[in-house]
């Protein structure tokens, strides 16, 4: 889904975060946060995804536009600053918790001129029972994986085992059993993550004693690392007035090129949300009342303002299918090779040309059109960055460059829409940022 505007008081938000540390979790935490921000005077627009940002004549971000799904009709918000907390992109793969993350915020940021970083670290795939969506992976450390004929799939339970599973899934089913957990571990596992077992209970499967088929579901930059480039401790971006938090932002700052899934992303969401809120508040206060009189212009392009006669209203479905064909298959995205990357990127560039020239969504369809455009842009940034990193580092693995190259200890920064570009961020710049 698109971004949802939130006006958050940073000090009060920090207080809610303290409650989370003290034991509040999930829906209760969100309910308390909602009450807090409403008491602080914030207006929450439910089911009202943003479709584009607004900028002032200097290029600073100063608001957003979107569509109200339940009430109907467009809306426009004037703001002293904007925080993008829209999540990453999992390409509607069906993974639980990821299937609403289509990378909209990254598209909005790029249209305003922002840069992205770490987009090559996007090969996150989660193990799930076949035909289901639950990709919680911690308990598979107790698993043994099997070929269809019942023999053990060697190497699947070791470090790098998902590559073994992915290769096997290209030509056969892979089965699993959590048979390395003893009785005390089994009891502890059910207490620790009861929702992991809901799928098995509903299917009538005992995962500790019975074999079950598995699959790998793409989680992209949700469980990956790449996102909008952060330029300061306040989660500012390369565009004035624009801040990023959570999975919308790069997580290289906390986990390098490895996955940010689980506790890392949870801690980052809380921390970056507070820092971005404080930074945005300071920036907005610097404008004072002058901010309310700025002339604003929309930044949205693909899906909103086609360059030629638009196609049929359901073109976004064809776009999504075309993107998924290049980013979901294991042999293209997970088991990356330069030749396949070049081919896929060429196909995605052609899709983008069609998106930019003919995709148009109006009313509620504008949201779907923008999601399709964002997924296309996201995939192009991912593969362009992957081609720029000619080594294997973290989750950015290349079959044609299997070794790590000490000379490539830099970040890959990317951006652009009609023309995607990449550049290395020198080590000196990283050290200066860290100091």
Tell me the per-residue pLDDT of 344-372, one tens digit each, with 9 for 90 and over: 999 999 999 999 999 999 999 999 999 99
- The pLDDT, as a whole number, for residue 432 is 52
Least reliable range by pLDDT among 160-164, 226-230, 330-334: 160-164
Q: Specify the higher pLDDT residue, 296 or 291.
A: 296
Instruction: Record the pTM.
Output: 0.90
- Whether the predicted pLDDT of 191 surpasses 80: yes
As a three-state string, the secondary structure of the chain is CCCCCCCCCHHHHHHHHHHHHCCCCHHHHHHHHHHHHHHCCCCCCCCCCEEEEEECCCCCEEEEEEECCCCCCEEEEECCCEEECCCCECCCCCCCCCCCCECHHHHHHHHHCCCEECCCCCCEEEEEECCCCCCCCHHHHHCEEECCCCCECCCCCCCCHHHHHHHHHCCCCEEEECCCCCHHHHHHHHHHCHHHHHHHHHHCCCCCCCCEEEEEEEEHHHHCCCEECCCCCCCECCCCCEEECHHHECCHHHHCCCCCCCHHHHHHHHHHHHHHHHHHHHHHHHHHHHHHHCCCEECCCCECCCCCCCCCCCHHHHHHHHHHHHHCCHHHHHCCCHHHHHHHHHHHHHHHHHHHHHCECCCCHHHHHHHHHHHHHHHHHHHHHHHHCCCCECCECECCECCCCHHHCCEEEEECCCCCEEEEECHHHHHHHHC
Q: Specify the higher pLDDT residue, 114 or 4.
A: 114
Residue range 315-434 forms a domain whose CATH class is: mainly alpha
d(Cα 218, Cα 221) in Å, to the nearest integer? 9
Q: What is the mean pLDDT of residues 105-117?
A: 98
In degrees rounded to 5, what are phi and psi of residue 209? Answer: -125, -15
Cβ–Cβ < 8 Å for 244, 228: yes
Burial class (CB in 10 A: 0-12, 13-18, 19+), 338: middle
- The pLDDT, as a whole number, for residue 9 is 34
In terms of Cα–Cα distance, which of 125, 110, 35 is closest to 414?
110
- The pLDDT, as a whole number, for residue 276 is 97
pLDDT in tens, 167-190: 999 999 999 999 999 999 999 999
d(Cα 383, Cα 327) in Å, to the nearest integer? 9
- Whether the predicted pLDDT of 243 surpasses 60: yes
- ∠ CA 413-371-33 to the nearest 5 degrees? 85
In terms of Cα–Cα distance, which of 187, 184, 212, 182 is closest to 199?
212
Pairing of strands 242-244, 227-228: unpaired
d(Cα 96, Cα 199) in Å, to the nearest integer? 12
Tokens at residue 119, please? 């987009």
- The pLDDT, as a whole number, for residue 97 is 84
- Whether the predicted pLDDT of 254 surpasses 50: yes
Topology of domain 124-220, per CATH? Flavocytochrome C3; Chain A, domain 1 (3.90.700)
Tokens at residue 387, please? 């081609």
Q: What is the mean pLDDT of residues 423-430?
A: 75
Q: Specify the higher pLDDT residue, 30 or 409.
A: 409
- The pLDDT, as a whole number, for residue 11 is 30
Least reliable range by pLDDT among 88-92, 283-287, 290-294: 290-294
Residue range 10-121+225-298 forms a domain whose CATH class is: alpha beta
In terms of Cα–Cα distance, which of 196, 224, 205 is closest to 133?
196
Domain boundaries, the chain: 10-121+225-298, 124-220, 315-434
- Whether the predicted pLDDT of 434 surpasses 50: no
Contacts with 50 (C-beta within 8 Å, 6 or more apart), sequence order: 2, 3, 4, 5, 64, 65, 66, 86, 104, 108
When pLDDT is cut at 50, 70 and 90, the band that residue 291 belongs to is low
d(Cα 240, Cα 59) in Å, to the nearest integer? 7
- Whether the predicted pLDDT of 379 surpasses 90: yes
* Most confident range, picked from 99-113, 259-273, 283-297: 99-113
d(Cα 102, Cα 117) in Å, to the nearest integer? 17
């Amino acid at each position: 889904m698109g971004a949802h505007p939130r006006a958050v008081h940073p000090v009060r938000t920090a207080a809610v975060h303290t409650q989370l540390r003290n034991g509040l979790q999930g829906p209760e935490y969100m309910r308390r946060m909602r009450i807090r921000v409403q008491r602080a005077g914030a207006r929450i627009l439910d089911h009202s995804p943003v479709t584009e940002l607004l900028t002032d004549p200097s290029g600073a971000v100063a608001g957003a536009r979107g569509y109200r799904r339940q009430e109907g009709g467009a809306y426009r918000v004037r703001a002293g600053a904007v925080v993008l907390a829209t999540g990453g992109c999992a390409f509607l793969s069906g993974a639980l918790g990821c299937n609403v993350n289509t990378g909209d915020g990254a598209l909005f940021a790029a249209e305003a001129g922002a840069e992205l970083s770490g987009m090559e670290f996007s090969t996150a795939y989660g193990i799930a029972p076949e035909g289901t969506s639950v990709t919680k992976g911690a308990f598979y450390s107790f698993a043994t994986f099997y070929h269809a004929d019942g023999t053990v799939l060697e190497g699947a339970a070791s470090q790098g085992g998902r590559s073994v599973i992915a290769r096997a899934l290209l030509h056969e089913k892979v089965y699993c059993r959590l048979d390395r957990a003893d009785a005390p571990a089994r009891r502890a596992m059910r207490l620790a993550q009861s929702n992991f077992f809901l799928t098995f209970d509903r299917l009538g499967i005992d995962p500790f004693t019975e074999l079950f088929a598995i699959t790998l579901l793409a989680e992209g930059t949700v469980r990956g690392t790449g996102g909008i480039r952060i330029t300061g401790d306040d989660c500012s971006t390369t565009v004035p007035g624009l801040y990023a938090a959570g999975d919308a932002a790069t997580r290289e700052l906390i986990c390098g090129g490895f996955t940010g899934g689980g506790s890392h992303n949870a801690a980052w969401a809380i921390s970056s949300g507070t820092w971005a809120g404080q930074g945005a508040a300071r920036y907005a206060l610097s404008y004072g009342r002058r901010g309310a009189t700025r002339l604003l212009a929309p930044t949205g392009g693909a899906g909103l303002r086609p360059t030629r006669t638009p196609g049929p209203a359901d073109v976004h479905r064809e776009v999504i299918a075309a993107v998924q064909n290049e980013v979901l298959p294991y042999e293209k995205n997970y088991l990356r090779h330069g030749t396949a990357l070049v081919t896929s990127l060429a196909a995605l560039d052609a899709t983008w040309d069609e998106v930019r020239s003919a995709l148009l969504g109006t009313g509620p369809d504008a949201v779907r059109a923008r999601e399709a455009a964002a997924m296309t842009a996201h995939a192009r940034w991912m593969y362009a960055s992957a081609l720029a990193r000619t080594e294997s580092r973290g989750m950015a693995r290349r079959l044609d460059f299997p070794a790590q190259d000490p000379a490539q200890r830099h970040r890959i920064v990317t951006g652009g829409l009609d023309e995607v570009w990449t550049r290395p961020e020198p080590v000196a710049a990283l050290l200066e940022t860290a100091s």
